[in-house]
């Protein structure tokens, strides 16, 4: 799980959360309808509509889709909805394409269990970004491998480990507990990571590490 406004660098969201309204649009129509049925039964508080049954005035907060459907929707995708994409075996280039879509908020494997899906939806509702740990690690590795000559950012093994934990949404105290360091030492490592990437905050670090790298 990746938080878009985590830790000490951003104030927590205040006030009541908006009710969850979900528009489901998957390339496989049967799977799309089955997902709607599951969400309605599992979470009665969710207002869930299939793309073929949603009224013109329906304004979703979440858009559950896959890459083929997202490409087909184009500019017709719900403009304000947070986009959660199902990963049905996407390669690295396809994942980077998904990350570049406006309002991207989550990438979840199609093999996830029911609890993980509901958790991802609720995390996105709180302003977080959901990406599983294996995908995060792969993106970090690919980004390092693709940097143009002269622009390599080299992290130590410990810095790489901490960067991955940051991208999983872990706070300083949790990181310190996981790798048996003091919280102050973790802060020193994080400061070094910020300096190497030339960013001032966690949110900026997460942003550049989860964006496709464009050659100039």
Can you name the CATH fold of 18-125?
Rossmann fold (3.40.50)
How open is the CA angle 48-28-103, to the nearest 5 degrees?
55
Instruction: Write out the DSSP string of 84-118.
Output: EEEESS--HHHHHHHHTSTTEEEEEETT--HHHHH
Are 162 and 129 spatial neighbours (Cβ–Cβ below 8 Å)?
A: no
User: Where residue 147 falls among pLDDT bands split at 50, 70, 90?
Assistant: low
Q: Of 139, 167, 156, 168, which Cα lies nearest the Cα of 193?
A: 156
What digits encode the pLDDT tens for the residues 1-37?
Answer: 444 333 333 334 445 677 899 999 998 888 888 999 9
Between these two residues, 172 and 150, which has the higher pLDDT value?
Answer: 172
Query: Where are the domains positioned within the chain?
Result: 18-125, 151-209
User: What per-residue confidence (pLDDT) applies to 139?
Assistant: 67
Q: What is the CATH number of domain 151-209?
A: 1.10.10.10
What digits encode the pLDDT tens for the residues 30-85?
Answer: 888 899 999 999 898 899 999 888 888 899 999 999 999 888 876 567 888 999 99
- pTM of the shown model: 0.61
Between these two residues, 80 and 141, which has the higher pLDDT value?
Answer: 80
């Amino acid at each position: 799980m990746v938080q878009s406004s985590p830790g000490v660098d951003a104030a927590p969201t205040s006030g009541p959360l908006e009710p969850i309204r979900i528009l489901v649009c998957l390339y496989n129509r049967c799977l799309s309808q089955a997902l709607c049925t599951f969400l309605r039964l599992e979470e009665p508080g969710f207002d869930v509509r299939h793309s073929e049954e949603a009224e013109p005035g329906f304004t979703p907060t979440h858009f559950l889709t896959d890459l083929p459907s997202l490409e087909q929707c184009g500019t017709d995708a719900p403009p304000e909805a947070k986009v959660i994409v199902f990963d049905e075996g996407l390669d690295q280039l396809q994942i980077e394409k998904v990350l570049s879509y406006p309002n991207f908020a989550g990438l979840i494997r199609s093999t996830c269990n029911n609890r993980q899906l509901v958790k991802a939806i609720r995390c996105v509702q709180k302003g977080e970004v959901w990406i599983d740990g294996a995908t995060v690690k792969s993106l970090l590795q690919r980004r390092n491998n693709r940097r143009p000559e002269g622009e390599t950012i080299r992290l130590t093994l410990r810095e790489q480990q901490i960067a991955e934990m940051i991208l999983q949404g872990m706070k300083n105290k949790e990181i310190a507990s996981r790798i048996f360091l003091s919280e102050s030492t973790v802060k020193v490592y994080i400061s070094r990571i910020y300096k190497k990437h030339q960013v001032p905050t966690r949110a900026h670090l997460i942003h550049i590490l989860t964006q496709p790298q464009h050659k100039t």
